[in-house]
Amino acid sequence: MLILECPYCGVHAEETELQAGGEAHLKRFGPGSSDEAFHDYLFLRENPRGVHLERWRHVNGCGKWFHAARCTQTLEVFGTYRAQTSAPPQDIRDKITAKRPGWTWREFEG
Partner 1 sequence: MKRYSAFAVAREGLRYHSGWDRAWRAAAPKRHYDVIIVGAGGHGLATAYYLGKNFGITNVAVIEKGWLGGGNTGRNTTIIRSNYLQDPSAAIYEKARSLYEGLSQDFNYNVMFSPRGVIMLAQTEHEVRGYKRTAHANALQGVATEWIEPARVKELVPIINLDGPRYPVLGGLWQERGGTARHDAVAWGYARACSDMGMDIIQQCEVTGVRTENGRVIGVETTKGAIDCDKLGMVVAGNCSVLSQMAGFRLPVESVALQALVSEPIKPCMDVVVMANTVHGYMSQSDKGEMVIGGGTDGYNNYTQRGSFHHIEETVRALVETFPMVSRLKMLRQWGGIVDVTGDRSPLISKTPVQNCFVNAGWGTGGFKAIPGSGWAMAELMATGHSPLAEAFSMTRFKEGRFIDESVAAGVAH
The pairs formed by 44-49 with CB atoms below 8 angstroms and a separation of 24 or more are: 46/105, 46/106, 48/72, 48/105, 49/73
Q: Please choose, out of 5-13, 37-45, 81-89, 95-103, the segment that lies near partner 1 by the rule CB under 8 A.
A: 37-45
Selected from 12, 30, 43, 107, the binder of partner 1 by CB under 8 A is 43
Q: 53 with 108: CB under 8 angstroms?
A: yes
Among 1, 101, 6, which residue's Cα sits nearest to residue 56? 6
Cβ distance to partner 1 smaller for residue 33 or 72: 72
Selected from 7, 48, 61, 89, the binder of partner 1 by CB under 8 A is 48
Please classify residue 35 by burial: count the beta carbons closer than 10 Å to its beta carbon, then call 0-12 exposed, 13-18 middle and 19+ buried: exposed
Indicate whether 57 belongs to the interface with partner 1 (CB under 8 A).
Answer: no
- Restricted to residues 58-87, the positions that interact with partner 1 (CB under 8 A) are 70, 72-75
Taking residue 92's Cβ as centre, other Cβ atoms within 10 Å add up to: 20
Residue 21 one-letter amino acid: G
Selected from 10, 34, 49, 91, the binder of partner 1 by CB under 8 A is 49
Binding site for partner 1 (CB under 8 A): 1-2, 15-16, 19-20, 22, 35, 39-40, 42-45, 47-49, 52, 54, 70, 72-75
